[in-house]
Structure 1
Amino acid sequence: MTTTTTPTDMSGMAPDANRGLGGPLWKPIMVTLLVILVVGGVGDQLTVLDDWYDALKQPWFKPPDWAFPIGWTIIYLFTGTSAVLAWQRAPSPGLRSWLLWTHLVSAVINIGWSFLFFTLQRPDWSLYEVAVLWVSVAMLAVISFRCDRTAGWLMMVYLAWVTFAGTMNWAVVDLNGPFPMVAGG
């Protein structure tokens, strides 16, 4: 009597068991890295800590400026890992499409916050924008959970950060508003 066995990965599962649509892993990793580099690079270029920023009264709970790049690195790592896991394990092409477009829209909104806050020097406008960002990240978390539980939990780190950032943004507006209609005016 011969027995055939299915090869397993390190988890003990067959390579494609419970993995949704699967496919080559390098493609979602490369797309994720590209998006992270673009969003991080553009956001970094828009984040200018100049005299205007230095003059803002900051809330007592704001982390030191050096902590933000560390925090964003962790957020990008978790968000990228979540994106790859969710993409690999999405149960349908339709959910994959929602995942991709929601990530891209969220990335644009993320960049928009830096533009409003730092370039236009409008913390009041960026406060409205951060609410939109929060909704987009919450949608990403929900979609990610539908694809993979771990992917969903990883998105909760980003959602927690946006919640905290929104609170800091509100405090900056409260401590410094109203703001002129034109930057530097």
Structure 2
Amino acid sequence: MPSFTPYIATTAGTVACAVAGSIASDPNSLYYKSLKKPDWNPPNQVFPIAWTALYTDIAATSGLVLSQLKQRGRKKDARAYSIALATNLVLNASWSYTFFRSHNMGLAALHAGVLAVSSADLVRRTATVSTPAAAALAPYAGWTGFATALSTKFWQLNK
């Protein structure tokens, strides 16, 4: 019988990430409203919807991977995956502080790029355990790649 512990842990991690990022994000701030935005910037309402779906996806796929790794006795791989996931979630949550709080567009673009690489790596790691789970997680890597392009464009427009 599978243990629910990995799912509880990944859900707790993604909820913490979402809360921390939400606290730092303020699309209604004078700062954000004053920025030049690219024409392809999604409406503000899209972000919480997209991120909620992505966080749910991260929690579920990562819980599945960790559960399968532990069932197969691959404790070392489960630990490495957990570290990669935790690193990714810290990068994810802290981007909002870089962008909305520090107002450093160049650093936010770089930060988003590192997050995108980390997200792609998480998909790669997931694929070694479950191809369907990796396919389910792939939109997260795509979204963070999009976020990198968007952050870079914000930097270019607001130098």
TM-score (norm 1): 0.80
The equivalent position to 1:79 in structure 2, one of 49, 55, 58, is 58
Larger Rg over CA atoms: 1
Is 1:46 paired with 2:24?
yes
For the residues of structure 2 that align with 1:98 and 1:150, how far apart are their CA atoms? 20
SS at the partner of 2:42? coil
Task: Give the 5 Å matches for 1:4-23.
Answer: 23=2
SS at the partner of 1:147? coil
Instruction: After superposing the two structures, state which structure 1 stretch, 145-154 or 62-71, moved more.
Output: 145-154
AA of the residue aligned to 2:11? L
Q: Tell me how far 1:152 sits from its aligned partner.
A: 1.1
Q: Deviations over 1:158-181 (max 9, x none)?
A: 00000111111111111111xxxx
* Higher helix proportion (structure 1 or 2): 2
Runs of 4+ more than 3 Å apart? none
Q: Tell me how far 1:30 sits from its aligned partner.
A: 1.1
For the residues of structure 1 that align with 2:154 and 2:92, how far apart are their CA atoms? 18
Q: Tell me how far 1:79 sits from its aligned partner.
A: 1.1
Task: Give the 5 Å matches for 1:157-168.
Answer: 157-168=139-150
The equivalent position to 2:35 in structure 1, one of 56, 60, 68, is 56
For the residues of structure 2 that align with 1:36 and 1:166, how far apart are their CA atoms? 20
Q: Please list every run of 5 or more consecutive structure 2 residues that lacks an aligned counterpart in the other structure.
A: none
For the residues of structure 2 that align with 1:33 and 1:165, how far apart are their CA atoms? 23
Q: Please list every run of 5 or more consecutive structure 1 residues that lacks an aligned counterpart in the other structure.
A: 1-14, 16-22, 178-185
For the residues of structure 2 that align with 1:142 and 1:115, how far apart are their CA atoms? 27
The equivalent position to 1:144 in structure 2, one of 91, 113, 126, is 126
